[in-house]
Structures are given as structure tokens and as C-alpha cells.
Amino acid sequence: MYIITGGAGFIGSALLWELNKAGVCDILIVDNLESDEKWKNLVKGRYLAYMRQDVFLRHILEDSLDEYAALELSPAPAGKPRGIVHLGACSSTTESDADYLMQNNLEYSKILCSYAVRRGIRYIQASSAATYGDGTQGFDDDPELLQKLRPLNMYAYSKHLFDLWALRTGRLNSFAGVKFFNVYGPNEYHKGDMRSMAYKAVEQIKHTGRVRLFKSCKAGYGDGGQLRDFIHVKDCVKILHILLQRPDINGIFNLGSGVARSWNDLAGAVFAAMNLRPDIEYIDMPDSLAGKYQYFTQAGMRRLQSALGASCAFAELEEGVADYVQNYLLQEDKYL
């Protein structure tokens, strides 16, 4: 059995889709569905059971997951879980409740990681490119550079603290962590303001005919010229699936395309996918982002490419955006 925490979320449900494609259905989905519509991400998926996060955490703390499987799952999967992919954290970069982030993103992750390592279960942990802060320390995932990073918001700091804990305790060599860069693609629809700009651009074009991008407040960057490393969610879950099967590959790795592209490029790709001429309006950046905005991100992919080789060949921005827009956002059924 595989366990996906945050399994109803954006990347979690895409991983469910990826595993199902490979014929893997013995999966426990852990999440909090609450009142939004992320339950729709699970409708097409095949999995054994769904469990609330608090119930799952209680089973982990009481070491009673095997007992649950024997009682509730029929037929019960044999032996211990094959792997845990921990994606179930608060992903909002604007979340201001520091105690919530420390509990949900740090302490929860430490408990799961310790449980998996102790029991010899393959463990994959989600980190974030936001841990790199303003980029002055670069975007190299060499663990020797972890101590030098200075995140710009509390979300990133909570992720960074887990990475530092793993390094300090020696667990860094017992699991695989991934620092996601700017992920876009189907099943992100429940994420509100945290949905990708690819999604937002399509919605803006439908309603106004144009896309709104931030003006630049930094020399060397034109309006809409701020740079990001965009990666399709299908490429992300392909790598997660491979890492689940490769317990010999451990450490924290960047997961991006390895190529920085501008917001203007992204908007242009969306217009092209919709067969429309670009129409972009540049607006002032809100005060809430002042001093916290990354003007450049680009994943250093040397270590992951060295470990996985040709598997790290990803869709270019125009190809990935065309797939997302034409095969999902412009279709009646938008889900994987």
C-alpha cells in the first residue's frame, strides 16, 4: 500500500492519477476535504480508502496503522506500507498564522518522516523553491548550502525548518525531498488565489480579453519580465513515482524545468493555446508583496539529473501550457 497525504490536493491527486496509470490502486488517501471542491479531484481515481489527517496522525503516533488496515481494508494489503508521499501541508505563501504553519508543515512532517525511517518505509517529502528566498544564495540544492538560505515568508520558513531538521538529525540520507518550483496543471482548481497564473490567465481572458501582470519594481526586470521556473504537474508526479521506486536516491532535490521563463512568456503561451493575440495590462504590485516577491527562480537540476538521467526531460512551457489549456481548461471535464 502507498500512502499519499494531501492526496485530494493538486499534486497529490495528480500522483494518484500517475500511480493508477501504472496499475497501482492500493493507495490510502489522507487529507481534509472540508467544504471546498477538492473532493472532485478524487472522483476518477482508484484507491483503497480515504482518511482524515487527524485520524491518520493518531494511527501514526499509536503505531496502529497495520491494525487499521486489517480491520477496515478488505483485502488488507500485506505487510507494511511500501511508501509514504507527504504532500499534506499548508501551501499558501500568504498564510500568516505562524503557529499553524509550525504545527502543520514542520511538526507533522517530522513525525511522519521519523515513523517512515524507523520502519524502513520509503518516504518522499514536499519542500518548496520558496525556501530560496530572494535568490541571492542561488538555487543550488547542495545540502551544504541549506544553512545560508533566508526564506521571505512564514510558509517558506516552515518548509526550510524541516529541511534543516533533516540535515541536523542525519535523516537527510534516509528519504527523498523535493523542492517544487512553479507547478501548473489540472486539478488545482480548489486552490483559490494559490492557483497557477496559467489558470488565472485563462479566466482573465475569458472575462476581459486580456491578462494582468505585475509591473516591475526592480532594475533589470521589465514589466511582466520577472522570471520563474514553470513545470507541469504531470512532470512532477512522474518524478515522484520514480523516486518511490528508487530508495537508493536520497536527499533534497530541486524539481523544476531548469529553465527560467518570464510571466510575459507564460501569458503568451496561454494566448497561443487559445488561438488569440496577446493583450497584457501591467498593474502595480500590492504592498503586501513588497520585499517578499521573488524576481527570479530557476531550479539547479544537476543533482537530480545525475541521479535520474533521461527521466528529467520535461515539457517546455509552450507545450505544457497548451496541454493544460486545450485538454483541460477549455474542456467540460477539467480533471485528471
Active site residues: 155, 191
Residues 148-166: b if buried by 16+ CB within 10 A, e if exposed: ebebbbbbbbbbbbbbbbb
3-state helix, strand, coil in the chain (%, to 5): 45, 15, 40
- What's the distance, CA 15 to chain centroid? 10
Q: What is the largest CA-CA distance in the chain?
A: 62
Residue 314 has φ and ψ, to the nearest 5°, of -115, 160
Exposure of 288 by Cβ count < 10 A (0-12 exposed, 13-18 middle, 19+ buried)?
exposed
As a whole number of angstroms, the distance between CA 271 and CA 185 comes to 16
C-alpha cell at 271: 494566448
Q: Look up residue 29 and give its amino acid.
A: I
Q: How far is CA 10 from CA 1, 51, 164, 285, 327, in A?
A: 21, 17, 26, 26, 17
Q: What is the DSSP letter of 296?
A: B
Amino acid identity, residue 15? Answer: L
Q: Is 3 in a helix, a strand, or coil?
A: strand
Spatial separation of the C-alpha atoms in residues 218 and 160, rounded to whole Å: 26
Amino acid at 182: N
Alpha-carbon gap, residue 316 to 268, rounded angstroms? 13
- Evaluate the CA torsion angle 131, 135, 137, 140 in order and state its sign: positive
What is the DSSP secondary-structure string of 211-232?
EEEEPP-STT--TT--EE-EEE
The DSSP symbol for 182 reads E
